[in-house]
Structure 1
């Protein structure tokens, strides 16, 4: 470290402490970090690469909304999923922005990846809308998703304090809702949510729904909105196999446990025939978990264990007949015929 560098450092340090530099530049207020607005677009969105234009599009839309003279901005948001449950599943969400005279300002459409659901598409549309809203603009957001309305009311309630545990109990998209909560707290947004009945007579909401459907088959023309999950309240999110877990953690662990149990069951040589059969496993587990008259939740007894064992034996077609008993206790049952 040179002597010149040290002398310059001391000189600037003295100038800031005595406010000489503040008075000269007349920027004391601007240099106060607590009063400087955060760049939420850079904070919550990945730039990815120069071919992903979602980041730039959202910034340009925000600038356009800022420059408009309209007193109120109207956002119509929607999201949908196509071919759910297949390898060709696809999801698109859309936002259409109007001024107070219902003149179109701009529109934004994007695709989704990983843990694709219709509710996630709706939630991503709401989250992206919050990134577009500049401070000081009165905005109304129209959505047909009751889940967004309920979660928003919970986060903005003056009576209930929403903790980390509360958000982790959300059935899905809890990582995105941590970002939304931080957005709502960081800047005073003048927003109002309006519930629209799905496929109602609302022309503007039906328009965004139509444009989303028209873009299926052309998803390669749309950019994927990549989110950074770095909210202060959820700095260490749960990751499984390199993918962020976006559902209720307890339900996720229960789901993984059940899948692992089913995998062990199918890998047994005696059960190999079930690998090629088209089994409705949802019905199977509904039958196995159905409570009998004397069964109670979170309790166990020899009777309940016996009932469950008998159900499994019926499932694998091994009812304890004489032939089956001979396999385990041949010395006792070898002379039995019925």
Structure 2
């Protein structure tokens, strides 16, 4: 069965001539002994597909009687450790962990909930939900319910339940009808009917949404983004705008987030790690192209100037090249 986490636009592909046994042994040697051979660890973990890394993890466990994750944590530190550990997690489990962390403790990191739930397909979200349940013994929906509120919660739950249509069917008539519903729910009335926005933006497939945005623009001479900005506020506004961005161009959405993460004083390493890992087999090639358009320089050079050491080396390998 083809994985819903892999596409031809990723920078990381199946490694040719792969041997899980050989890689597990090389990792054991790299980690054992005094000091770690970071280059070997980086070369293996950034250059194997997720499916291959799951085989390495199994092989390592049976050959060494130890968990590769624990050994990496024991031997590495800081951002580099977090990146290497993230790279050996199956994608759905990595997203589940990120979501859990975003909701833990006081205050919820809404921007992370928004980033993941707005950008993943329904099939991916179903796998994340299963992973979440397996690891935490609770449903993702229950945690979202207890950590968020109001219309924002309602929209997140629509998304977390994987209710978006994942097909590529589009219908011109429906687009016009939806555009009218959105206009009547926002611009046309006093007060906003948020439910209508949530229903359409959280349930229609991305192709259908693009048609709807075009219809909206031609019927009302306004971009849907403008209407959302003037009619809706707070976290719900941020979520709906993120959905619009992802529907229009998912790689551009991630390029913008990466740009924010490295621009200005201080680098947001958590965001950098999260996006580089989660998109490396999906659409990082497209994200690189969008990044260059947005920033005027390559993602590769941004990583070069904003990070250092083994963390930098590993990210550059994931990035896959200069544009």
> Which band: TM-score by shorter chain?
under 0.3
Please identify the structure whose Cα radius of gyration is greater: 1
**Larger RCO (CA within 8 A; separation ≥ 6):** 2
More strand by share: 1
Instruction: State the TM-score, normalizing by the size of structure 1.
Output: 0.24
- Give the TM-score normalised by the residue count of structure 2: 0.25
